[in-house]
Amino acid sequence: MTANVLFAGRPDAWPAYEPLLKTELSRLAVDADLRNEFPPEDVDYIVYAPSGPVSDFTAFTRLKAVLSLWAGVEKIVPVVPAGMPLTRMVDAGLERGMTEWVVGHTLRYHLGMDTHILRQNGRWEPKAPPLAKDRNVTVMGLGALGTASALALAALGFQVSGWSRTQKEIAGVTCHSGADGLKAALAHAEIVILLLPDTPATENTLNADTLALLPAGAKIINPGRGPLIDDDALLTALDNGQIGHATLDVFRVEPLPPEHPYWAHPNVTVTPHIASETRESTAAEVIAENIRRGEAGEPLLHLVDRSLGY
């Protein structure tokens, strides 16, 4: 039987996704009818983003799965009915973009680029930066994006540690896990990268207590989600020098309100949630493969664990 697939991502993304998804579905020999409009009671799969037209799922009475175009699902988990299979986006293009952004900002801190290159201040201080092998970097969150970033940093020679909920084994990365491993993950981290999901368990992972575990002057890079950081605690730590600088891509409120102290803080770099994004061509492959699996009765890839929220 034909599977009816509703594209309910951002409306302006439909022209790019339509041909790519159709090509992939046909390549995988999936009998599917893909459209950006359907009577809800006819829809089998929704390709979904919160920025699209669907916010209420009650009329979708024969729905088999919701396939998210976003990697972070904290806004999606509460609106998709309990029990409905929900997948999140794990996309090679998204992963590549995040890895490049993380490596770029890590190297910027490591090499002191803001001090030595971007703001030539007339002072002649001929002190070369250390080599990566003498720099400790910690990646918080070792999922699709954290692991790819940690591996790229390890390949450059950094001393990389990582932290996740469950214990990992990643070549070249010293892995810590759970509440017990948090102190060890932070104790020597000169640069901390946050790639955790936004869940009740990860809120304020960086707070006054955990920021105090870091070596004085540590740098923070947050492309994960705003609520991972207690903003007041970070501002205090930036003001007293415990944290040397922070590069923040994500915030509790986006766009970051003009009056927010981060904008004007001399030791904060604000970027407007651009660390990475889902890339249509690689994302279409993942979505089509999950529709194939759904129709074949095979387990879907990248299912969200609703009890954990990611």
Q: Using CB under 6 A, which of the segments 44-52, 183-191, 217-225, 252-260 binds ligand NDP?
A: 217-225
Position 93 contacts ligand NDP (CB under 6 A): no
Angle of helix 92-110 relative to helix 280-296, nearest 10 degrees, comes to 140
- Check residue 280 for interaction with ligand NDP (CB under 6 A): no
Stretch that binds ligand NDP, among 109-117, 123-131, 150-158, 197-205 (CB under 6 A): 197-205
Can residue 8 be called a binding residue for ligand NDP (CB under 6 A)?
Answer: no
From 96, 116, 273, 306, active-site residue: 273
Rounded CA-CA distance 64/295 in Å is 9
CB-nearer residue toward ligand NDP: 28 or 151: 151
Structural Rg of the chain based on CA atoms: 21
Instruction: Give the Cβ contact number of residue 5 at 10 Å.
Output: 26
**Residue 227 sits in the site that holds ligand NDP (CB under 6 A):** no
Q: Does 143 bind ligand NDP (CB under 6 A)?
A: yes
Q: In what order do the strands lie in the sheet with 136-140?
A: 173-177, 159-164, 136-140, 191-194, 218-222, 243-248, 268-270
> Does residue number 225 form part of the binding site for ligand NDP (CB under 6 A)?
yes
Q: Round to whole Å and give the CA distance between 76 and 70.
A: 9
Yes or no: say if 267 and 293 are a contact pair by the CB < 8 Å rule: no
**Nearest distance from residue 117's CB to ligand NDP, in Å?**
25
Nearest residue to the partner ligand NDP, using Cβ = 143
Q: Is 304 in the site for ligand NDP (CB under 6 A)?
A: no
Angle at which helices 144-155 and 92-110 pack, to 10 degrees? 50
Considering only the stretches 15-23, 158-166, 212-220, 234-242, report the one whose residues sit in contact with ligand NDP under the rule CB under 6 A.
158-166
Q: Does 50 bind ligand NDP (CB under 6 A)?
A: no
Selected binder of ligand NDP within 55, 58, 120, 166 (CB under 6 A): 166
Residue 116 is a catalytic residue:
no
The answer to the question of residue 275 lying near ligand NDP (CB under 6 A) is yes
Helix (H) or strand (E) holding 149: helix 144-155
Sole binder of ligand NDP in the list 249, 280, 285, 295 (CB under 6 A):
249
Distances (CA, A) of 171 to 80, 133, 147, 150, 292: 37, 15, 10, 10, 33
Residue 164 within binding range of ligand NDP, rule CB under 6 A: yes
Torsion of CA 138, 141, 142, 146, to 10 degrees: -70
273 binds ligand NDP (CB under 6 A): yes
302 catalytic? Reply is no
User: Considering the rule CB under 6 A, would residue 142 count as an interface residue with ligand NDP?
Assistant: yes
Alpha-carbon span 306 to 290, nearest angstrom: 18
**Phi, psi for residue 159 in degrees, rounded to 5:** -80, 100
Catalytic residue IDs: 225, 273
- The footprint of ligand NDP (CB under 6 A) covers 71-72, 90, 94, 141-146, 164-166, 195-199, 201-202, 223-225, 249-250, 273, 275-276, 310
